[in-house]
Amino acid sequence: MDKILEGLVSSSHPLPLKRVIVRRVVESAETPLSQAQCRAMFALSTRLVLQGPDPFQRQVGRQVLEAYGRYHRDEFEAFFNRGLVLGLLQRGYGELSNRDPAILDYIQAGLRLIMSCPSVLELFELLQVEALRLVCERPAPPLCARLCQLLGDFPQCLPRGRKLSLAFCQQLVRSIAHFQSQGSREAELRLYVSQVTQVSGLLRSVWKAEPDTLLPSLQELFAVISAAVSYVMLCSTITDTSFEPSVALASLVQHIPLQMITVLIRSLTTDPNVKDASMTQALCRMIDWLSWPLAQHVETWVIALLKGLAAVQKFTILIDVTLLKIELVFNRLWFPLVRPGALAVLSHMLLSFQHSPEAFHLIVPHVVSLVHSFKRDGLPSSTAFLMQLTELIHCMMYHYSGFPELYEPILEAVKDMPKPTEEKIKMILSQSAWTSQSSSLPSCLSRLSGKSETGKTGLINLGNTCYMNSVIQALFMATDFRRHVLSLNLNGCNSLMRKLQHLFAFLAHTQREAYAPRIFFEASRPPWFTPRSQQDCSEYLRFLLDRLHEEERTLKALSSTKTSETIMNEESQTQEAVRKAQVFAEAPCMGSEERTLIEKMFGGKLKTTICCLNCKSMSQKEEAFTDLSLAFCPPTSLESVGPKCVERSEVKDDYMVQTNALATSLAGETPPSNLEANGGCDTIMNEGTIKEFSTEPNSENTTNSELNKVEDNRDMSQRLVGKNTLSVTDLLNYFLAPEILSGDNKYYCEKCASLQNAEKTMQIIEEPEYLILTLLRFSYDPKCHIRRKILDNVSLPLVLELPVKRATSHLSVGSGGWSVGVEISDIGENLAKKLKPSGADEVACPQLVPYMLSSVVVHSGVSSESGHYYSYARNVTGSGPSGLCHQSTALSLVSRQDKLLTEESPCTVVENELDTEMPREWFLFNDSRVTFTSFQSVQKITSRFPKDTAYVLFYKRQNSTCGFNTNTANGLWVNGDPPLQKDLMDAITKDNKLYLQLIYTLYQT
């Protein structure tokens, strides 16, 4: 039968006759045949399929092979074995090369015939290996497309295992990069496009089945398009030195989920390993992809990358790429298939490139001809594009006026087209400029798309943990503190500071939109805080700083004692341990190198002086603070006098007199007072009540001149509180203003040996790097047994001058010295009458230290037990504008004749200038959500939302280096955070990869 068939197909008989005989041969396949006869028919049909000189013989071969293989399956299974398939793939068939697509056609036909046979599993394993080998050899588009078709029909032949599957995807990406069209005619181009589509479709199927392969494939894609020609040559078999990665790579873009744009672009633009030259090369090649006819979303990725580079201020790359590629992008407008994407990219490039007319003027000579072409088309689509293009051109000519000779032909060409209004032009121009930083990534993306456009990371609310989230974000935005925490070497340590470092590292480098701080929350939550209930953020902040300080102090003492063990005997070790403990307890004697990080960043000192008005003896005491709690001054006048109102920032009353760990270590006394304005008391008035100012000092101990001083201070205080809106400066003045201790609150003078009227003054003698101010908005109402909130609006100065009174000589504490831990909460309702000093001030004038507002924690609600916390913050470093406020022109609290600090300071002008010069420098942190905002929004928050009030303020001291040398030899501290410890960086990198894979998996689901 095989001889008859062979003679027939090669004979000169008419073709219809041949087909009739062939049909009978095919029908005879149902009759039984010997094994030798079957093999002869299979060999003949194989030869006809692979080597037939004309389409008829090849068709006959396929028909005979299919018929005899179906009816004689066992014999065909023995014929179509591993040896035959391997020989075809590696050596070809006769004169037919193994790289001919016909080989794969034949193998696919054979696999269909033996799908139900056991031997097919062996062939699948063989093809898994051979498929990877084939793509590594960079097959031409026809062969690669045929291979992908086979693998698509038989996915069992795809390489298995993560390593092989990943290698297959990466090599297939590189194979696409080598694709080149073999012709220029339409039919040839259509065939080429279909072949590329076949290959990219297989990659999409693999990515969908195995999401782990997507990210490495995209990394391979970026490596190809960002590499220089020389590098590409090393990875290829092409010897042409002019090789450029094929635009066919654009076919892969449509298969990448848009939900990954934000994460991938931000990861790409912030990766320090990606050099500017590589990024420029990659962006140029991506713009070339706009010419690929069927690729979707190419323009979306190009624009996202342009915006991402603008966000990290890579303006050199943007300028170079724009000038190099804008004419190519404009020329793509001539081709209807790619016109929409090209116009979108062109619009973004022109509207963002607003610092110079150079880019626009490159395309000006080509505008008129394109406009005329659109008009001649007369198609609705062409007219719509012409209107968009005209609007864009009008915006550019408006922005770059003064070139009439260039623009006159264009104006003539578009004179019959609608012209946008001036308001619309201004709006369009303001949206995309690099300098405006208003560019945002596509809003259609899922909220799983990574960080917001701000580049900052939110914190997930774990159940009424907004009080912690707002404080952590404020501390994180304290740039110098964050950098020092990240630079600590805490390997092997399970301390709270280590957990804070871990949290800061993730906030700085994670690709997640928001991070869940579960570990840190459990480690830092005060024991008396009930989980999942609202708490006071000020109380949490104070507890956190105390814990960090005590922990570091203890570790230093242990480390010092352990080191000494190797050189001291047992007796000297004991003495040394006692000495070390004394050194750490006597903080005023500690050198800067022995201070804890909390002391260096937030620690300041207050000096309290009590002067007996009878004998003029003075008692002084210094105490440390990490924050100042500012009570509200009287809001209207002093005519209505009532019990003193105290606002407590702590939830629990007994916490009012609880020892502050940092203050204890610095003052050497137990227990010290919390540094609330003038201590505490047991009664309050309603919201907006007035602090009591007594004008009835004891007649036995108060002279007429002192009474006159009292009256003078009444007038001064009335001027202070006569304003409608209080400011932080007013509250700070009120905190530092002197008090008269009289009546039930007389001072026991040891020199007089009796209770006497006295004057109490407080002065800041050492300023902190970060000044934390808590506005005491919560006051306890004993009648209702609740803590009410004072909703008064407080003006927040951007620049604050802190009066720091450094004594010219050391003053010894008098014999009548008093303990810092006096019964603050036991003093009666007539505790303190705020009066001007009678001469107890030192002669030295305070120095005004400028501070810049860094963060504001806002409480929204009417009580401390409910509501919500969020925070505003900005990046403020130690190097601020020099000479912000000069002591010669500023007003300070120094003596009776001087004025209090007022808002009429020269710094008021500086505030406005600083805020207008730094747009979008403010951020709003609201749990998981982070957005851009402005200082005007911070100032107006209470006027717009009456229940939202500033509560805790962070100010950063200007013109300061924090006592640390941040200019290290390797420059790691310049313009950025320090490098992370390897284990931290590895953990973040691993988490980022898992997150990207999660995004893709969820998208596919």
Phi, psi of 118 (to 5 degrees): -60, -30
Q: List CB contacts of 753: < 8 A, sequence separation 6 or more.
A: none
**Sequence letter at residue 264:** L
Pairing of strands 922-926, 868-874: antiparallel
- Is residue 830 within 8 A of residue 694, CB to CB? The reply is yes
Structure tokens, 859: 């409480």
Q: What are phi and psi of 425, to 5 degrees?
A: -60, -45
Q: Which residue has the tokens 């005023």?
A: 588
Q: Which residue has the tokens 């209702």?
A: 784
CA angle 239, 243, 248 (to 5 degrees): 125
Prior bond to 531 cis, omega within 30? no
* Catalytic status, residue 466: yes
Q: Report d(CA 551, CA 840) in Å as an integer.
A: 39
Q: Is the dihedral of CA 900, 904, 908, 909 positive or negative?
A: negative
The catalytically annotated residue of 868, 885, 907, 962 is 868
CA-based nearest residue to 353, from 311, 310, 390, 385: 310
- What backbone torsions phi and psi does residue 280 show, to the nearest 5 degrees? -60, -45
- The identity of residue 407, as a single letter, is Y
Of 359, 328, 333, 260, the closest CA to residue 300 belongs to 260
Q: In whole angstroms, how far apart are CA 574 and each of 559, 569, 853?
A: 14, 9, 47
DSSP 863: B
Query: How many CB atoms are located within 10 Å of the residue 585 CB?
Result: 16
Rounded CA gap, 800 and 797, in Å? 6
Inter-CA distances, 48 with 10, 39, 42, 78, 204, Å:
11, 14, 10, 20, 35
Pairing of strands 833-834, 799-804: unpaired
What is the number of H-type helices and E-type strands within the chain? 35, 21
Report the residue count for the chain: 1005
- How big, in percent rounded to 5, are the helix, strand and coil portions of the chain? 50, 10, 35
Coil/strand/helix, residue 854: strand
DSSP label at 886? -
Residues 6+ apart with CB under 8 A from 567: none
CA atoms within 13 A on the CB side of 737: 30
End-to-end CA distance of the chain: 55
Q: Which residue in the list 157, 395, 466, 907 is annotated as catalytic?
A: 466
Please state, as a whole number, how many other Cβ atoms lie within 10 Å of the Cβ of residue 394: 22
To the query of whether residue 752 is one of the catalytic residues in this protein, the response is no
Note whether 721 and 636 are within 8 A (CB). yes
What is the number of other CB atoms lying within 10 angstroms of the CB of residue 32? 8
- Asked whether 598 and 555 are in contact (CB, 8 A), the reply is no
Residues paired with 853 in a beta bridge: 955
Burial of 433 (0-12, 13-18, 19+ CB in 10 A): middle
What values do phi and psi take at 850, rounded to 5? -75, 135
The span from the CA of 544 to the CA of 523, in Å, is 10
Which is nearest to 21 in space by CA: 56, 50, 52, 47? 56
The tokens of 701 are what?
């101990």
Q: Over the range 523-539, which residues count as b (16 or more CB within 10 Å of their CB) and which as e?
A: bbbbeebeeeebbbbbb
Catalytic residues: 466, 868
